[in-house]
Amino acid sequence: MLEVATPRFHFQPTPLAGLWLAQRQPIRDARGFFARFYCAQEFAAIGVVQPLAQINHSFSHQPGTLRGLHFQHPPHAETKVVSCLSGRIFDVAVDLRSGSPTFLQWFGVELSAQAQNSLVIPPGFAHGFQTLEPDSEILYLVTTAYSAEFEDGLHPLDPALAIDWPLPVAEISARDAQRPLLDVATYAGVPHV
């Protein structure tokens, strides 16, 4: 897949098909800058056509805080556009699409306010991140409202995924820490996303 440029964004494909890095193209002057976080018309160029349903905001005090890996099953599978408003994070997406050549592979990227970048995560991926600096704030634009009935997740420290988190884990929720480890053979046969 080729890179896509629009007036306010530069979209770069990742090694996992359908997962994109979005680089905002700010307009700068003596006052500072102006940038768009999202534009439906421009994001349609990479296949994001669902309207936004929620905007979520996350804040973590401590570096090394780990959140995720979360996803929703159909019919509540969602696209997420994840951006870091302050601090820095290591953002990760895991391919959960049955039959995908990159099934259970992950991609990680550093997101920060200074970098003006976002990760565009389509349906069929689990998402998580680790904070790299104190007081990191994250904004998620999502296309489907949260549904507790369809919510699920993977253990972020599962050896079967072997995600190379940059820092030792300082904080993790009990829910995320207690998720079962994958039985990859069983998981591959389950239609989940």
What is the distance of C-alpha 64 from the center of its chain?
A: 17
Kindly state the tokens that stand for 179: 């998720």
Instruction: Give every CB contact of residue 69 below 8 A, 6+ residues apart in sequence.
Output: 92, 94, 126, 127, 128, 153, 154, 155, 156, 161, 176
Residue showing tokens 């007081």: 135
The answer to whether 192 is a known catalytic residue is no
Kindly state the tokens that stand for 14: 């990742």
Q: Which among 31, 122, 29 has a CA at the least distance from the CA of 74?
A: 122
Q: Is 104 left (phi over 0), alpha (psi -120 to 50) or beta?
A: left
Q: Which of 38, 70, 127, 155 is catalytic?
A: 70
The answer to whether 187 is a known catalytic residue is no
Buried-exposed string 79-94: b where 16+ CB fall within 10 A, e elsewhere: bbbbbbeebbbbbbbb
Q: Which of 38, 76, 140, 155 is catalytic?
A: 140
Which residues are tagged catalytic?
70, 140
